[in-house]
Structure 1
Amino acid sequence: MPEDEKNPARQIITDYARDHFRYFRTTEGTVYAQKNGHPVARPIRSQGTTGSHRQELMVGLYNDGHGVFNGTALKEALDLIEALALSQDVQPTHIRVAPGFDGATWLDLGRDDGQSIRIHPTGWDILTPDPREVCWRRTQLTGELPLPSKDTDGKGIDALLRLCNLANAESECLAIAWLIGCLEPVVPVPAPFLTGPQGAGKSTAGRMLVRIIEGMTGDLRRAPKDEENLITAVAAGWVTALDNLSHLPPDLSDLMCCIVTGAESIKRALFTDGDVVRSRYRRPLLLTGIDVGVIRPDLAERLLPLRLVRPQVRRTEAELWAEYAPALPVILGSLLDLTVKVRATKADIPSDLRMADFAHLCAQLDAATGLSSLTAYRASLDDLNDDVIEGDLLAQTVLKHAATLNPGVEAQMTSTEWLHVLTQLYTGDDFRPLPKGWPTTGKVFSDRLKRLQPTLAARGVLVDWGRTKTARYIEMSRPFAPSPSEQQAAF
């Protein structure tokens, strides 16, 4: 063949790649490659241990008889493919859970053949999704799930509850509601906090709950010491489980709030001065620990305390997991059956709770099964409000002062005046010293009060901010207690 009729290596690679793979970009600008007919996508620049597109391209060329190509030819071909893909349609990639067409959602089983679970309004099926409907992204944290069992008649839920040492029916129904919420790709769910005495099996129960969604390789981990490492871990999986927490510093508390309800992190791209890397995350979060000390009010609204008790009969780890592993297909099948049933059930949306989507899910679960998960959720939030108040001397002092106010009468003062009144109330006649962290200026006091506003409102103390022509003020009041007939009408 004359020299001028030979195709350069980069042309052979490019033609082969475009014949066997689909290339697209995400909203962040990352270009992905997806083998024709397969739902798993890989970033073309990835060199990760889960397998890069460069590696699968090299293997495909070799197996199909095109030979082995050097790195320069591969780089030039991939550079061209990446440039061409930037003009293609934008499509998101998903880890583990994804929205589909016609109101369906998908659960990635983590299998090499791409088989996944499609949850739709009339049931669920095991299918290989259309690549244009769902693009799965895999990482080292993506474990394989077993094929779920059909027609379980709820036996899997019973088996799961037998294995976990949940203290009461309230914790059991909240755990079930959280698992159903984990299968919803766009709705935030509060973070279950598994608490109980030492030896109650909190870590084991946490692993069992996580592995229903993440497979048998899913595990708990220690909380990273900095925000960047935690965000990296969160972005690489679906459920993030942090074990044996004993203290929640303010930065970690704020970051957990962002993980539950969703946020975005931006950092400088490597080897550049002008480009950035965006990391969007909203993930189910699970925590375990005996006690984490003072809980900040904004995190309390995003927590779901699950109480555990020490088992009367001890079993070895080997015995527990020998029973759990073969039961996992039945547990997953029962969860999917219940999810379909709950999603098909209509219920009113509670309008008084911050996590309204999860509260609605609890109401649907109650209507579908006769459980009392919404009541249990309200009670858990009430307990968390008590924890916040018990750990905050300022909140206790505000409530003490509010008890002296007449119902329906609004007290207005500037933030500095309020701080002076409450400081005098705390120190009393014996002039006891102020505690560490007590506000020192009106501005600091106002900011602290804004964090406490929902907690105080739950205890019947309303706080609001306003402004006159000359100054800003803080208004505090106690509403009239509802009459017995009004209370009965509310229920």
Structure 2
Amino acid sequence: MAEEEKAPAREVITEYAQAHFRYFRTADGTVYAQKNGHPVARPIRSQGTTGSHRQELLVGLFADGLGVFNGTALKEALDLIEALAMSEKVQPVHIRVAPGFDGATWLDLGRNDGKSVRIHPAGWDILTPDPREVCWRRTQLTGELPLPAKDTDGKGIDLLMRLCNFANAQTESLVIAWLIGCLGPSVPVPAPFLTGPQGAGKSTGARMLLRIIEGMSSDLRRAPKDEENLIAAVAAGWVTALDNLSHLGPDLSDLMCCIVTGAETIKRALFTDGDVVRSRYRKPLLLTGIDVGVIRPDLAERLLPLRLERPRVRRTEAELWAEFEDILPIILGSVLDLTAKVRAAQAEIPTDLRMADFAHLCAQLDAATGLGALNAYRAALDDLNDDVIEGDLLAQTVLKHAAGNEPGLEVRMTSAEWLHAITQLYTGEDCRPLPKGWPTTGKVFSDRLKRLQPTLAARGVLVDWGRTNAARYIEMTRPAVPPPDQQEAAF
């Protein structure tokens, strides 16, 4: 094509694009295109063949009778549009859940017409959001949700619990709290860990919880073998569900902690020497497994154990999922009803729990329904502390040492002295061999103790660090138990 013919093609594409699409950039500099009046935004540099901006631009030009354009003209037009968009106002894009105006939040139903759910304290409505209020980003992991049913009177919650095999009402209250938490874009929620005997329906229950938020096309997946693949999966969806975990190594455990409470990953941009790509993530996680071995203390504070029991009556997969798909609009409607009710409820914020936002949500749920979710959450965390202690011989030995001290007595020693004392207590008179991973230096002992500090405090052993003019020390105290009348006054 001659040079004089390329310039008009460039201009035709640019004029058409600016007339039919709104272009803006996000905080990381990525430029998105949003069709006028439609809330879905697509990155203009996407090279995908399904739903990319290049594709919708080519289809629009052809459908409006402007012709078919080659790749060179399209690239030159998009280069100019991208450069112009860099001076536009910054606006974020969201996957599945987004904050809105006036304290409302939005839930993307994944529909082609852009209809979404606006949740506010007075209720919820099905609307098409103003593109300047909410920009949805869609990926291959964004499934379609049905239009939720109105005026369900809580029927959907009962239908869901009838299909699942949760062990008791306390577990069911935590399930409800987690589902409500998943509809809040700014509330970090602990990762439910569905556990129970073989055949308890852990994977089936996890799929149901996942599909309430992500649609019927979503499914569980195995844990990726490396950090980069897991981060890519987390960034492309809202809820990430990992099935049949049998081991949580240190790297995977640390990464899960970051996913639950939020972190950022930076890597070099492709085909560049100095540019970088930032990936921020704080997404809900969902896990299943019978036994994952030793749980690290920092991950235990971010987990939500949900126990299931084996059902007495078995059903076929086809029958079960056909029923679930039929009642999904009712389930989703009931969850939305309860979400609006809970957000309008007033409750004090518990200040003694790590996941304070989720604890506050449980308190609001209790104020709205009286389900006892906060007490159930405290009990669940207490069980996890037991799991941490049972899997850590150092924690067991420290507790044994503290039990032999007088309540209220402050014991101070250097880290090396503490290591010697705890090691001697573990080996005993028979000098049994030390287990693999036992601290070998005072510094390693001190670092391990810092990880165990919240777990030990939950069992009445307070650990603190300090220094004198001579050296640093570690202080352990087992506070005296207050009289019964003072305990009652504390509550």
- Report the TM-score when normalising by structure 2: 0.98
**In the TM superposition, what whole-angstrom CA distance separates every residue of 1:373-418 from its partner, at most 9, and x where no partner exists?**
1000000000000000000000000000011222222111111110
| Residues in 2 aligned to 1:486 and 1:247: alpha-carbon distance in whole angstroms | 44
Q: Which residue of 2 aligns with 1:100?
A: 100
| Deviation at residue 235 of structure 1 after TM alignment | 0.3
Residues 264 and 280 in structure 1, CA contact (< 8 A), matched pair in contact too: yes
| Deviation at residue 48 of structure 1 after TM alignment | 2.4
- Given the superposition, is the C-alpha separation of residues 476 and 50 from structure 1 closer, same or farther in structure 2, using an over 3 Å criterion? farther
- Given the superposition, is the C-alpha separation of residues 15 and 480 from structure 1 closer, same or farther in structure 2, using an over 3 Å criterion? same
SS in 1 for 2:10: helix
Residue 205 (1) aligns with residue 202 (2): no
Residues 50 and 139 in structure 1, CA contact (< 8 A), matched pair in contact too: no
- What is the one-letter code of the residue matched to 2:473? Y
For residues 389-468 of structure 1, the aligned pairs below 5 Å read: 389-468=389-468
Q: Which residue of 1 aligns with 2:77?
A: 77
Q: Which residue of 2 aligns with 1:123?
A: 123
Q: Which residue of 2 aligns with 1:87?
A: 87
For residues 65-214 of structure 1, the aligned pairs below 5 Å read: 65-214=65-214
| Deviation at residue 482 of structure 1 after TM alignment | 2.3
| Deviation at residue 5 of structure 1 after TM alignment | 11
Name the Cα RMSD after superposition. 1.2
- What is the one-letter code of the residue matched to 1:230? L
| Residues in 1 aligned to 2:482 and 2:376: alpha-carbon distance in whole angstroms | 23
- Tell me, which stretches of 5 or more residues in structure 1 are unaligned? none
| Deviation at residue 486 of structure 1 after TM alignment | 2.4
SS in 2 for 1:292: coil
Residue 251 (1) aligns with residue 259 (2): no
Residues 95 and 136 in structure 1, CA contact (< 8 A), matched pair in contact too: yes
Residues 49 and 55 in structure 2, CA contact (< 8 A), matched pair in contact too: no
**In the TM superposition, what whole-angstrom CA distance separates every residue of 1:425-477 from its partner, at most 9, and x where no partner exists?**
00011000000000001111111000000000000000011111221111110
- What is the one-letter code of the residue matched to 2:369? T
| Residues in 1 aligned to 2:115 and 2:51: alpha-carbon distance in whole angstroms | 19
Residues 6 and 73 in structure 2, CA contact (< 8 A), matched pair in contact too: no
Q: Which residue of 2 aligns with 1:306?
A: 306
* Count of aligned residue pairs for this structure pair: 489
- Tell me, which stretches of 5 or more residues in structure 2 are unaligned? none
SS in 2 for 1:143: coil
| Deviation at residue 489 of structure 1 after TM alignment | 2.6
SS in 2 for 1:14: helix
| Residues in 1 aligned to 2:459 and 2:41: alpha-carbon distance in whole angstroms | 50
| Residues in 1 aligned to 2:95 and 2:327: alpha-carbon distance in whole angstroms | 24
**In the TM superposition, what whole-angstrom CA distance separates every residue of 1:237-289 from its partner, at most 9, and x where no partner exists?**
00000000010001000000000000001111111111111000000000000
Q: Which residue of 1 aligns with 2:232?
A: 232
Identical residues among aligned pairs (%): 84
| Deviation at residue 87 of structure 1 after TM alignment | 0.8
| Deviation at residue 65 of structure 1 after TM alignment | 1.1
- What is the one-letter code of the residue matched to 1:118? R
| Residues in 1 aligned to 2:42 and 2:263: alpha-carbon distance in whole angstroms | 24
Query: Which stretch shows the higher mean deviation, 3-12 or 479-488?
Result: 3-12
Question: Segments of 4+ in structure 1 off by > 3 A?
Answer: 3-7
- Given the superposition, is the C-alpha separation of residues 184 and 50 from structure 1 closer, same or farther in structure 2, using an over 3 Å criterion? farther
Q: Which residue of 2 aligns with 1:264?
A: 264
**In the TM superposition, what whole-angstrom CA distance separates every residue of 1:132-167 from its partner, at most 9, and x where no partner exists?**
100000000000000000000000000000000001
| Deviation at residue 484 of structure 1 after TM alignment | 1.2
- Report the TM-score when normalising by structure 1: 0.98
Q: Which residue of 2 aligns with 1:325?
A: 325
